[in-house]
Amino acid sequence: MRVALGKTDLQVHPLCLGGNVFGWSADSQQSQEVLSAYEADGGNFIDTADMYSEWHKGNIGGESETIIGDWMRIRGNRSEMVIATKVAKLSTRPGLSAANIASAAEDSLRRLGTDYIDIYYAHHDDESIPLEETLTAFNQLVTQGKVRYLAASNYSADRLSQALEISRKLGMSEYLLLQPHYNAIFRSEYEGDLMALAVKEDIAVLPYFALAAGFLTGKYQPGIEVQSVRAEDMPERLNDQSWAVLNALTEIAGQHNAPIPAIALAWLRAQPGIAAPIASARTPEQLAQILPVIELTAEQVAQVNAL
């Protein structure tokens, strides 16, 4: 099964496999097991970033890219994979200046063991640098054949609109994909102006934190302590509305005889503009919970929307 990514010519699996756990909660061997299991199920779309996973003790950033690059070299499958990575958040390569973008891209290419990146994201908006400088630097990478398509993450609708206008005015490659924080319990960032712009411009949207840092897997329940590197992120999510959404997803999962995480991802796919949600797994067992591609009824989508 494949879905089209907006105005690109890319055809990808409906689940984009997140690489943020590689080199963090999943070591190199575990990561490669997950990658191979994803590929075996027809998966071809992997998301990473130069700063993954700098936050883990002893890491310097780039660990995820290196693991993915080593795996592709071993498998000899680079041409079959769609690889997305990002620039701007690594502490040693911060921001979106022209010089930093050029250097960071070379670093990512080296770690990934490839001569091109399929999708290159601005990991966040850098308002200290003129948009024209950032976009010109990205466009140069496309012209050089080092990047196929450009994308934006964590941009407001206004800034994304400005970026599109500048790229078109200067006849340059433009942002064709968008990665916002979006899931069934965090909807404010995407729904509204950003969604309207994405739909209007046919920008493929690939939401991150699609499972709310694990809350929408269903493993968190009242009174139950969960051992997870992300458990500390949970308190802010544990409110009545969040539990109501999780309960609705659990009910729908029972109707489909499917894992709760797969239903949370199915809800995302049903929203306007969404091409493929991003979700990660540190074991093949976790991966099996997010791989099923399920189509919800209009009533089931509305049931979650209403909450």
DSSP sequence for 35-67:
HHHHHHTT--EEE--TTTTTTSTT--S-HHHHH
Tokens of 275: 């091409």
Q: What is the model's pLDDT at position 219?
A: 80
pLDDT at 287 over 70: yes
Query: Is residue 16 a contact partner of residue 269, using CB atoms and an 8 Å limit?
Result: no
Query: Is residue 135 a contact partner of residue 129, using CB atoms and an 8 Å limit?
Result: no
Domain ranges of the chain: 3-305
pLDDT at 38 over 70: yes
Residues serving a catalytic function are 52
| Residue 253, φ and ψ in degrees, nearest 5 | -60, -40
Q: What is the model's pLDDT at position 228?
A: 56
Q: What is the model's pLDDT at position 225?
A: 57
**307 versus 153: which is more confidently predicted?**
153
Least confident of 99-108, 143-152, 223-232, 294-303: 223-232
Tokens of 230: 């992300």
Q: What is the model's pLDDT at position 238?
A: 72
Residue 285 and residue 103: Cα distance in Å, rounded?
37
pLDDT at 52 over 60: yes
Indicate the average pLDDT of the chain: 95
Q: Which amino acid, 51?
A: M
Give the whole-number percent of the chain exceeding pLDDT 70. Answer: 94
pLDDT at 157 over 70: yes
Helix axes 131-143, 98-112, angle to 10 degrees: 40
Tokens of 98: 């022209």
Name the architecture of domain 3-305: Alpha-Beta Barrel (3.20)
Q: What is the model's pLDDT at position 297?
A: 98
Q: What is the model's pLDDT at position 237?
A: 60
Residue 150 and residue 269: Cα distance in Å, rounded?
22
pLDDT at 233 over 90: no
Residue 206 and residue 202: Cα distance in Å, rounded?
13
Q: pLDDT tens, 102-149?
A: 999 999 999 999 999 999 999 999 999 999 999 999 999 999 999 999
Residue 123 and residue 104: Cα distance in Å, rounded?
12
Q: pLDDT tens, 168-218?
A: 999 999 999 999 999 999 999 999 999 999 999 999 999 999 999 999 998
**Cβ contacts of 273 within 8 Å, gap of 6 or more:** 195, 198, 199, 203, 204, 205
pLDDT at 235 over 80: no
Q: What is the model's pLDDT at position 239?
A: 84
Give the residue among 153, 61, 69 at the shortest CA–CA distance from 110.
Answer: 69
Give the residue among 202, 273, 265, 296 at the shortest CA–CA distance from 17.
Answer: 265
Q: What is the model's pLDDT at position 296?
A: 98
pLDDT at 232 over 90: no
Q: pLDDT tens, 238-263?
A: 788 999 999 999 999 999 999 999 99
Residue 17 and residue 81: Cα distance in Å, rounded?
11
Give pTM, 2 decimals: 0.95
SS3 state at 137: helix
